Structure 1
C-alpha cells in the first residue's frame, strides 16, 4: 500500500508540474499567434485525446507519464511545402526571435510562478515550524568553539530574521555553499540578569566547509541539533522487558539518571545505549510522587555493537513549534525571495558539481522524487504543497540549463541568433542536439544510480 501511495503521489506531483510547464508554452504561443496542434500530458503514443477550439487543438494523454509537450505548427517537422499558405504566418519559425524566446522561456517561468503561488498560500495560511533553538552542542564542535551553547535561540543569520529551524538551516546552507562566515544573533537564557535573557552576536566560521559535505547537512558539520521536549515519558512496554521488571509503568516520567538531569529523550536513549548490562538509578515521577528505581538495560547487538535497551517505547520528543505566517503582501514578497534564493542556490550547486567541488550524489531522479512525494503527502497537505513548490523550482532551473533539447538550449540558439543576426546553420543545431541527448542520458544514468543507492534501505524495509 505504501508503494502504491508513493506512486500515486508522484504521478499527481508530476501531472501538476508538467501541466503547468506546458501550459506556459501553450498560452504564450497562442498570445504570439502560433497555431498549437497538440497539448500532451505524457510522452510517446497517445492513449486518449479530444479536440477543442477554433484550431481544433488536440488535448492528449500519452502512455509515458514522465513529461509532456506542446506541438506547434513547425516547418522543421512538417516541411514548409506541407503547410497551407494561409497558415504560414502562424508557423513557429516565422515568428520573430523575441516571440520564440518568449514561447520557449514561458515553460520554466510558469514553474517559478507556480512555486511563488504555492509559497504565498502557505505563508498566508501559516506553516508550523520547529523553533530555531539549539540542543546539546559537543564541546569539540565548530559551533561550540564559536560560542554557541545549549538552549540558544537563533533570531537572525547575517542580519536576516529567522522564524524557524528550516529557515535557519537554509540560510546556513546558503552561506556554507558560498564559503562565507555567518554572524548569528542568539537569545540566551541567563537568570543572573534582569529579564532572564540576553542577546549575543556570534560569528560561525564556514569558509572551510566543503560543499561536498552538504549531503551530511551543514548543521551536523557544525555540531548543531534541534532542541526537543525535555519530558521523557514512558509508553508501551515489551513483555518481560527490563523496564517492566524493574517496576516502571506507562506514563512514568524519567527526570534523572545517576543523579544527572536529563536534557531530553535523545539524551536518555544515549545513556541507556551506552550502559548494556549495567544498573542505572533513575529518578522517576509518577503523577505527583517522585522516587528512585534501579533498572539494568539488556544487552543487544546493533550493527556489530553491543548497546543497552530497556524494552519500552518513549513518547515522541517533539520540538517547540512556531507558526510562520504573514499577510498576503508580505507572503508574496517572501515567496518571491524564497523562489529566487532556491533557484540561485540550485545554480550554484550545479556549478560546483561541474567543477568537482560538490558531489554528483545531489543529482536525483524519479525514484527519489516519488519517495519524497509519498513521504510529504503522508505528512499532510501543507508539507506536500511545499514539496511541489521545491520540485517546481528545480524543474524550472533544470529546463533553463543551456543544454540542447532543453528549453535552455533553444534559448541559447535564439540568443546567438540575436547576436549574429541570423539563425544558426542546421548542421550546428543538429550537432548540438546530439550533444544534448548524450548529456541528458548521462544525467539520467547518474540520477537512477543515485536513486537506487539511496533507496536500497527503503526497499529493504518494505521486504522485511
Structure 2
C-alpha cells in the first residue's frame, strides 16, 4: 500500500507541477507578476523568494502544486505594478497563459513517449497463435505463427505496437489491414472488419475476442531441484522444451500433464540449448497424491519463453513517434468521451484517484518503462480534461475568452458566477461518478 501511494504521489506531483509550470512560463513571458509557485499544497515547509519577487515554496501535501499570479491591480498600485496584473493583459495573452498548462502536459507526454522509444523497451514479438475457428482473424486468413509486421501501413515491431494500432478499429469498429510474415517467411495482407464493441472496464479482451492473441510460449526451465530426475537427466536452467515424449511444441501445462502420465517410465525430452537441439531421457519419479493416484514428477520449475524484441528508434524518429502517439491518444480519448455521451460506451469506464493510484502502483512494480508509459498516458488525460469547455477548468476560461472575443467586451460578472456554479456542479457529478466506479471495482 505504501509503495502504491508513493508511486501515485510522484505521478501527481510531476504531472500537475509540470502543468503549472506551463502556466508560469507563459505568464512570465507575457509580463505577469507571479506571487508564488508551490510544489505541493498545505503548510509551506521550505520557501525562497527570487529576484522577480516570486516565492518558490515546497508544501507539506505532495499531490501536485499551483501557481499564484497577481490577478488584478489594487487601488493605489503604481502603473508599473498594475501593468503586471493578469486581468490587464490582452485577450491573446490571457488565452495563451491559460492554454499553456494543458499544452505543457501534452508536451510532457510526447517527451516521455519519445524517451521510451529512444531508450528502447523489451516487448513480446507480435507472433500470433492459431485463431479459433470462425473468429474474425480466422476468416481473414490469419494462421498460427504469423508475425504482424504492419497495421494499416504503419510498421510495428512488437505486440504492444500492434495492439495500439488496432485499438481504434477494435473499439469503434472498422477495417484494419494487417501485413503478416508467415512461418515460411512470406509476406501476406490480411483484412479484418471489426464491429463496434461494447467497452466495459471488466470486459473481455477485444483482441482475443477477434481471434488475435500471442502464440503460446514454449516452456523454459527456470530452475532444477538438486538430486531429482530433471537434474539427473541433465536438464539445465535456460533449456527451452520443444518436445516431450510424442508431444511436439508443448505448452507448460501440457508438459506437466505429459510428465504426470508417465510415472516410473523413461520419457524423452528434447530441448533447445544454446541454439542446438538436445534429446535427454528423463525418468519421472512416481509419487502418490492425497487421492491415491500415482503421477510422475521430474523436479524442475518452468517459465514462459516468449520471443522478445527490443523496440528502439533514433532521436528524430523517437520524437516524431512521441508526438504522433500523444495526438493519437488525445483523439482516442475524445472519441471515447463522445461515445460515452451518446451511450455507446459505459460510464463505468470513468476512473478516479483510487483506480489511478492502483495503476500507478502496478506499473511501478512492473518496471521503469511501464511506469513512464503510465505517466505519459495520465499526462495526456490531464491535458485533455483541462481543455474541456467546463467553467473552472482551463477549457472553461478559454470558452469565456472566445465569447469575449466574439462580443468585443468582457463577459458580465453574472455570466461568470452562473458558469462557476454550473462548472462546480458538473465537476462534482464527474468526481462522484469516478469515486463510485472506483469503489465498485474495489469491493466487487
What TM-score, normalized to structure 1? Answer: 0.81
Q: Which residue of 2 aligns with 1:461?
A: none
Q: Distance in 2 between the 1:318 and 1:437 partners?
A: 52
Q: Distance in 2 between the 1:82 and 1:263 partners?
A: 84
Quick check: 1:265 aligned with 2:252?
yes
Higher mean C-alpha displacement, 367-376 vs 143-152: 367-376
Q: Which residue of 1 aligns with 2:383?
A: 396
Q: CA deviation at 1:16?
A: 1.2
Q: Distance in 1 between the 2:90 and 2:305 partners?
A: 58
Q: Which residue of 2 aligns with 1:125?
A: 119
Residues 135-172 of structure 1: CA deviation (Å, up to 9, x unaligned): 24222422222211110100111111111111100111
Runs (4+) off by over 6 Å: 247-250, 277-282, 292-300, 308-313
Change (3 A) 1:453 1:149: farther
Quick check: 1:352 aligned with 2:339?
yes
Q: Say which of 71, 89, 92 aligns to 1:74.
A: 71
Q: Distance in 1 between the 2:390 and 2:216 partners?
A: 46
Q: CA deviation at 1:103?
A: 0.2
Matched residue count? 432
The answer for unaligned runs of 5 or more in structure 2 is none
State the SS of the aligned residue for 1:405. coil
Quick check: 1:342 aligned with 2:339?
no
Q: Which residue of 1 aligns with 2:29?
A: 31
Q: Say which of 252, 266, 269 aligns to 1:284.
A: 269
Q: CA deviation at 1:432?
A: 1.6
Quick check: 1:202 aligned with 2:214?
no
Residues 324-353 of structure 1: CA deviation (Å, up to 9, x unaligned): 222211111111111111111111111111
Q: CA deviation at 1:296?
A: 9.2
Residues 287-327 of structure 1: CA deviation (Å, up to 9, x unaligned): 95444767999999xxxxxxx99797743213211122222
Q: Which residue of 1 aligns with 2:362?
A: 375
Change (3 A) 1:255 1:337: closer
State the SS of the aligned residue for 1:33. coil
The answer for unaligned runs of 5 or more in structure 1 is 191-196, 301-307, 458-464
Quick check: 1:184 aligned with 2:183?
no
Quick check: 1:408 aligned with 2:406?
no
Q: Which residue of 2 aligns with 1:61?
A: 58
Change (3 A) 1:356 1:45: farther
Quick check: 1:315 aligned with 2:272?
no
Q: Say which of 314, 319, 323 aligns to 1:332.
A: 319
Q: Distance in 2 between the 1:81 and 1:390 partners?
A: 45
8 A contact 1:232–1:264 mirrored in 2 = no
Quick check: 1:217 aligned with 2:205?
yes
8 A contact 1:234–1:253 mirrored in 2 = no
Change (3 A) 1:312 1:7: farther
Q: CA deviation at 1:425?
A: 1.5
Q: Which residue of 1 aligns with 2:405?
A: 418
8 A contact 2:110–2:319 mirrored in 1 = yes
State the SS of the aligned residue for 1:120. helix
State the SS of the aligned residue for 1:216. coil
Quick check: 1:150 aligned with 2:144?
yes
Change (3 A) 1:213 1:291: same
Change (3 A) 1:173 1:263: farther
8 A contact 1:215–1:362 mirrored in 2 = no
Q: Distance in 2 between the 1:235 and 1:125 partners?
A: 31
Higher mean C-alpha displacement, 137-146 vs 150-159: 137-146
8 A contact 2:106–2:326 mirrored in 1 = yes
8 A contact 1:111–1:396 mirrored in 2 = yes
Q: Which residue of 1 aligns with 2:219?
A: 231
Change (3 A) 1:312 1:290: closer
Higher mean C-alpha displacement, 132-141 vs 12-21: 132-141
| Correspondence 1:81-120 to 2 at 5 A | 81=75, 83-120=77-114
Q: Which residue of 2 aligns with 1:51?
A: 49
Q: Which residue of 2 aligns with 1:434?
A: 421
Change (3 A) 1:408 1:253: closer
State the SS of the aligned residue for 1:98. helix
Change (3 A) 1:321 1:148: same
8 A contact 1:299–1:309 mirrored in 2 = no
Change (3 A) 1:151 1:352: same
Quick check: 1:7 aligned with 2:5?
yes
Residues 81-104 of structure 1: CA deviation (Å, up to 9, x unaligned): 375554221111111111111000
Q: Distance in 2 between the 1:377 and 1:369 partners?
A: 12
8 A contact 1:232–1:268 mirrored in 2 = no
Residues 38-76 of structure 1: CA deviation (Å, up to 9, x unaligned): 11223345454332222x21222344443322111113x
